Structure 1
Amino acid sequence: MPHLVLLYTPDLEQSTDIPSLCRALADTMLEQRDETGKAVFPTGGTRVLAYPAAHSAVADGKGEYGFLYANLRMGAGRTSAVHKKVGDSLLEVLRAHLGEILLERPVGITLQIDESPGQVYDGKQSSLHPLFNKPSS
């Protein structure tokens, strides 16, 4: 964790580079620091996944409408100030990356952040974390 999942109308792939958007969002997540300067997200746990919707209906269907929904799921324990800073930073990346498209046609962007305070099970198996948790020499 954290996982940022993008779900979007497939027509956006014709107008923008989704893989570079994913990288920009992941890099932005990794740049985030809390009030003490500590990284908000672990490098090995940061993931951005993007999926074009196989089927979609947007608004009244009478225009060339697009949509991108982004949902960031993170573990509990961060302050509301961190939530806002992370959300504002990610939304800015989305706006910058999709800015030209927003000027050309109607496209909706939604970013939601969810915290998982009451998990009843959180199973993990990863060979990624050890790559980034080595003691500094």
Structure 2
Amino acid sequence: MPHLVILYTGQLEAETDMSALCRSLADSMLSVRDDADKPLFPIGGTRVYAYPAPHYAVADGSADHAFIYMNLRMAKGRSIATQQRVGDALLACAKAHLEPVFAKRHIGMTIQVEEGQESFDGKHNNLHPLFQNVLR
């Protein structure tokens, strides 16, 4: 955790580099600090993935309309101010990346930040040890 999942209308594939957007959003997540000025998220636990929606209806049904929905899910315990900081950082990052697309077409973009109370949170991970000595 954290995981940022992006759903978007498929026609955007030809108009922007979604892999570059994922990397930029991950870097934004890793740059956010918590209330104690420590990194908000661990490098090894940060995930961003994007899926095109093969079937969708947007607004009035015009094939020219698009959407991007981003949902950040993170473990419980972050302050509202910290959640706002990460949401603002992700929104600014996505807006900057998608500015050329917004200039060409109408897009609905949403980001939601959720803090979860898991009933089960199983993990198996050998990524974290790779980054224990990384200073940020």
TM-score by length of 1: 0.94
Report what 1:77 is aligned to: 77
Q: 1:133 Cα shift?
A: 2.4
Report what 2:120 is aligned to: 121
Gaps of 5+ in 1: none
Give CA deviations for 1:52-84 in whole Å, capped at 9, x if unaligned: 012111111135001000000000111111011
Gaps of 5+ in 2: none
Helix, strand or coil for the counterpart of 2:38? coil
User: Map of 1:18-97 to 2, 5 A cutoff?
Assistant: 18-97=18-97
**Structure 2 CA distance, aligned partners of 1:94 and 1:88?**
10
Give CA deviations for 1:83-131 in whole Å, capped at 9, x if unaligned: 11100000001111111111211011000011013x1110001111121
TM-score by length of 2: 0.94
**Structure 2 CA distance, aligned partners of 1:11 and 1:130?**
39
Percent identity between the two aligned chains? 52
The root-mean-square deviation of aligned C-alpha atoms, in Å, is 1.4
The residue type paired with residue 132 of structure 2 is N
Helix, strand or coil for the counterpart of 2:4? strand
**Structure 1 CA distance, aligned partners of 2:95 and 2:123?**
33
The residue type paired with residue 25 of structure 1 is L
Runs of 4+ in structure 1 over 2 Å off: 133-136
**Structure 2 CA distance, aligned partners of 1:129 and 1:81?**
26
